[in-house]
Amino acid sequence: MSQVARTRGMTVAAFGRRKGGSPLVCLTAYTTPMARLLDPHCDMLLVGDSLGMVIYGLPSTVPVTLEMMIAHGAAVVRGAASALVVVDMPFGSYQESPAQAFRNAARLMAETGCAAVKLEGGAVMAETIAFLVTRGVPVLAHIGLQPQSVNTYGGYGARGKVEDEAERILADARAVAEAGAFAVVVEGVVEPLAQRITDAVPIPTIGIGASAACDGQILVSDDAFGIFADFTPRFVKRFADLASVIDAAAKAYAEEVRARRFPGKEHVYQPAAAPAAPQGGAPA
């Protein structure tokens, strides 16, 4: 069976057309070097506000600022040649009003060069999504478990376990699609609900802790590659254990420094050789 070639120079429109097609491959990225490594393999790179926990050691995504997202968003855009780059809008930057959301989304796009923004919220954010989309800001929606609302939820448990909550989340999916979101992240919901949502909306669903039936998948790269070891959610598969590799490399470096085996002669600079003395007798 032939493989479906990934679209080069992924656009928002091309991303949306992948509904029901070859699964969309998405990962988070926060730096230029990581973006360069992931870009050849991904349809979308998300500069997630998860950087607050992964990069800055914050207890949640709530303290992340717009300035942090701009700095890391610009870094990822510099490293991405073909993947669609989307930047999260941090907590407090869009909930007040559609006008506030537009001001901050416009700044994100102008100062990073990203193609779209992501915001959390379902039906309650439909007006804001429509306001942004009609003014030229593509929006990736985010429903189900919403990390920015962890204080309201009281934790990171799965959503949609009971039918009334499942119906509300399904209604959220329909609302963001009708408002004009080009795709929707479906996080931390029970698998049957993720399947229902995918069947119910005309835009791609990007699952994280949801279902293989979604139109695509996303993970936090540092989770998937075994770099961030503070907590591993049930839905994360570790495709590598880079934390152990880095730990072993740091240990080897420390041992060589303490034993004065590093740096070696090949790692240091030597002064230029003195010019040779002239040959022959004294001049006439």
Ligand-binding annotation for 118, yes or no, is: yes
For the annotated catalytic residues, the residue numbers are 187
Question: Per the structure block, which two tokens stand in for 87?
Answer: 């930047």
C-alpha span between 142 and 160 (Å, rounded):
15
What is the residue whose two structure tokens read 């991904």? Answer: 42
Relative orientation angle of helices 163-179 and 126-133, to the nearest 10 degrees: 20
Q: How far is CA 7 from CA 18, 82, 83, 174, in A?
A: 10, 8, 9, 27
What is the residue whose two structure tokens read 């029901």? Answer: 20
Ligand-binding annotation for 120, yes or no, is: yes
Provide the residue count of the chain: 284
Query: Cβ-count burial of 144 within 10 angstroms (0-12 exposed, 13-18 middle, 19+ buried)?
Result: buried
Annotated binding site for 3-methyl-2-oxobutanoate: 49-50, 88, 118
Annotated binding site for Mg(2+): 49, 88, 120
Annotated binding site: 49-50, 88, 118, 120
